[in-house]
Amino acid sequence: MGSKSKTGLTATYSTVLAFLFIFIAFVTPYWLETDGKLKDPKFIRIGLWQVCFNGMEDTHHFYETKFEGCWWVFEEEYYIIHDILLPGFFVATQFFFTLCFTLLLIASFLVALYMCCSKHHDRFVLLLLVVGTDLTLAAFSGTIAVIIFGARGDGRDWMPNWEHNNISWSYALAVFGVLFLYMGGVLFLIEGRVHHIRRKMAQSSQRSEYGMEQRKGHTTI
């Protein structure tokens, strides 16, 4: 780590923080939750993959089934309320945030390679640019996810008692994670650009020195 620049280390730390925040947001069911003011709320909380109900019923009254406890959102028993539980905006949020997390996993492996790789390696600049691009794409996907959920997550046309539902801390971590992704991606791209320029200057200097040595040799002859 001592051979890495401050920019590279800052980019690495940003990626680590982004991974922690996004991983927690990805697996925790606190994207939306009731504010606790209702005595007997039907909806408790929901994340990307888990939802908790307390006597939730089909709002169209086609079925008399009541849903209790916390379950996977794709649980077979939930098929009768899939149109309520999994509207288009929520599925889009799941898709783009999963894409964000997948790209971040790839970037994490590449960042580990960066920490082990010498800056004199032939592919060092390429590695930096690939990491930066990967993180930026992950940040872009995550941005789409948090914008969609932020705009529609606490709307009156989704979970019951919408006026008592608040976007919660898992969503906040997702937002912070996306911000750190942008920071890490931009810094890795800057670092790659700096090393690319330095290599170009070093190669140009070497060619100039080689040309001067050749001219001196011809003069001596």
Domains of the chain by range and CATH?
6-192 (1.20.140.150)
Looking at residue 16, its amino acid is V
Cβ count near 202 (within 10 Å): 10
What pLDDT score was predicted for residue 25? 97
**Taking 60 as the threshold, does the pLDDT of residue 42 lie above it?**
yes
Summarize the confidence of residues 125-143 as an average pLDDT: 94
Say how far apart CA 173 and CA 137 lie, in whole Å.
Answer: 18
Task: With CA atoms as reference, report the closest residue to 133 among 115, 155, 110.
Answer: 110
Helix/strand number for the chain, H first, E second: 5, 5
Strand order, beta sheet including 32-34: 66-72, 50-57, 43-46, 32-34, 165-167
Binning the chain into helix, strand and coil, the percentages to the nearest 5 are 65, 10, 25
Whether 47 and 30 have beta carbons less than 8 Å apart is answered as yes
In this prediction, residue 185 carries a pLDDT of: 94
Percent of the chain with pLDDT over 70: 81
Query: Taking residues 54-70, what's their average pLDDT?
Result: 74
Higher pLDDT, 201 or 69: 69
Most confident segment among 48-57, 66-75, 89-98: 89-98
**What does the alpha-carbon distance between residue 111 and residue 214 come to, in Å, rounded to a whole number?**
42
Given this model, what pLDDT does residue 195 score? 67
How far apart CA 104 and CA 109 sit, in angstroms, is 9
Question: What pLDDT, on a 0 to 100 scale, did the predictor assign at position 138?
Answer: 97
pTM for this predicted structure: 0.84
Residue 119 has pLDDT above 50, yes or no: yes
Range name among 10-19, 42-51, 64-73, 206-215 with the lowest pLDDT average: 206-215
| Mean pLDDT, all residues of the chain | 85
